[in-house]
Amino acid sequence: MSKKKLTLPVQIVIALIAGVAVGLICYFAGVPEFTTNYLKPFGTIFVNLLKFIVVPVVLLSMIDGILSMGDMKKVGSIGWKTVAFFLVTTAIACIIGLVLGNIFNGAGWFPTLQLAEGATWDKATSANFMDTLIGMFPSNMWEAFRTANMLQVIIIALFLGGSMLAAGEKAKLCKDFVGSAYAVIEQLMTFIISLSPIGVFTMMAWVVATQGVEILGSLALVLLCAYIGYAIHAIFVYSFAAKAFAGISPLKFFKGAASAMIFAFTSTSSAATLPVSKECCHELGADDEIASFVLPLGATINMDGTAIYQCVATIFLASCCGMNLTLGQMVTVVVTATLASIGTAGVSGAGMLMLAMVLTAMGIPVDMIMIIYGVDRLFDMGRTCLNVAGDISGTLCISAWESKKAAKK
């Protein structure tokens, strides 16, 4: 009898547990440099492979998805529904973050901290929506690919896919090339995904060994506040949306999305998790064409975890400065965080740059960001996990809406 092989989600869970165990051993043994020198490099190689494949996956999958629809009206229908779904959930996420942040701050649970002497933050960016809008449209296609600017890559894919549809039979060669190239990329993607347990183990061992339990310290309550917000949003917004619109129970939703959420939690990159997310959506019954369109778009504009983090962190840093935000300022936080989340790249650590935008809008010294910079990785793991859950939930809902629309016709 042939031996039954462990499924990929099971392998990832085992790798996660093993990584935590090894990380704790190295942490308490006082040898975190072992994970830094000998384990993390393998995790870095794996993440580099993911980054290497992200641009071709997004570009080709979106063009292929548009071509397979065969109708620009359908592309437009799915597009506006996707954007509307993600904007609504992001606004809800901001409100959840503000409510929890004010509860914790009002109870006096946020500690008063001061910026370490000499610490500075030199990566502040302007919270200008028009700059974000202009930045979406590339002036150089190859530069967008080189820098992995996902908003620009998506715009390029939309233009190229739409133009191929409009060109009709004259674009047959281009259409065949896209289909053939995407088939190759899918095989490469399958191979890289099969290495994910190695990446999860090495990266988790390094994070635990170097950050340890002591990093929570005085920031434990801030982390707790953010993670409560992540959990509330995942359960009461994403799983309920999947139940209400796609008929998928919360238990089935989380079970089906588990491997992508775990991978996102350890890799802290929603863009790198795209291949795993696509597999999860397929297993949950989403239309593959819609998944090819919605998931890359969601990895770029759906940053609900980042929005919750920005709101909680803004209230916390304001309390460190002795500031109490007014209702008007909180509304500004919601609007700014929602717009900032649209421009957040789907890569590890990008949320920290967007937080600088929100702080600038609030008049909070951006240097204060250094207080939580050391534990940003811990925030990032949870918010990326939530972002990916939102991408999958949105794909399932939009797939269900389009199926019902087709059934009525």
pLDDT at position 34: 92
Tally the residues of the chain.
Answer: 409
pLDDT at 211 over 60: yes
pLDDT digits (tens, 9 = 90+) for 235-273: 999 999 999 999 999 999 999 999 999 999 988 778 788
Q: Give the pLDDT band of residue 120 (cuts 50, 70, 90).
A: very low
Residue 200 within any structural domain of the chain: yes
> CA-to-CA distance for 31 and 99, rounded, in angstroms?
41
pLDDT at position 217: 56
Q: Give the pLDDT band of residue 71 (cuts 50, 70, 90).
A: low
pLDDT digits (tens, 9 = 90+) for 172-207: 999 999 989 988 988 888 888 888 888 888 887 887
Residue 3 within any structural domain of the chain: no
Higher pLDDT, 403 or 69: 403
pLDDT at position 160: 92
Tell me which residue has tokens 């701050």.
105
Determine the average pLDDT of the residues in 38-48.
86
pLDDT digits (tens, 9 = 90+) for 380-397: 889 889 999 999 999 999
Residue 48 within any structural domain of the chain: yes
Residue 2 within any structural domain of the chain: no
Whether the CB-CB separation of 181 and 18 falls below 8 Å is answered with no
CATH number at residue 151: 1.10.3860.10
With both helix axes pointing from N to C terminus, report the angle between 40-69 and 288-301 in degrees, rounded to the nearest 10: 130
pLDDT at position 123: 45
Residue 73 within any structural domain of the chain: yes
Residue 275 within any structural domain of the chain: yes
Determine the average pLDDT of the residues in 343-361.
60
Residue 68 within any structural domain of the chain: yes
pLDDT at 6 over 90: no
Higher pLDDT, 401 or 52: 401
Higher pLDDT, 331 or 41: 41
Q: Which two tokens stand for residue 87?
A: 């904007």
Total domains, the chain: 1
Share of the chain above pLDDT 70, in %: 81
pLDDT at position 280: 93
User: What separation in angstroms does the CA of 199 have from each of 272, 307, 348?
Assistant: 12, 27, 14
On the 0-12 / 13-18 / 19+ scale of CB atoms within 10 A, 315 is: buried
Mean pLDDT of the chain: 81
Q: Give the pLDDT band of residue 4 (cuts 50, 70, 90).
A: low
Q: Which two tokens stand for residue 146?
A: 């080189």
Determine the average pLDDT of the residues in 89-118.
76
Q: What domain range includes position 150?
A: 8-408
Determine the average pLDDT of the residues in 39-47.
86
pLDDT at position 249: 94
Residue 1 within any structural domain of the chain: no
Question: In terms of pTM, does the model score above 0.75?
Answer: no
On the 0-12 / 13-18 / 19+ scale of CB atoms within 10 A, 107 is: exposed
On the 0-12 / 13-18 / 19+ scale of CB atoms within 10 A, 210 is: middle
Least confident of 93-102, 207-216, 320-329: 207-216
**Strand, helix or coil at 152?**
helix
Higher pLDDT, 326 or 391: 391
Whether the CB-CB separation of 390 and 340 falls below 8 Å is answered with no
pLDDT at 92 over 50: yes
pLDDT at position 253: 95
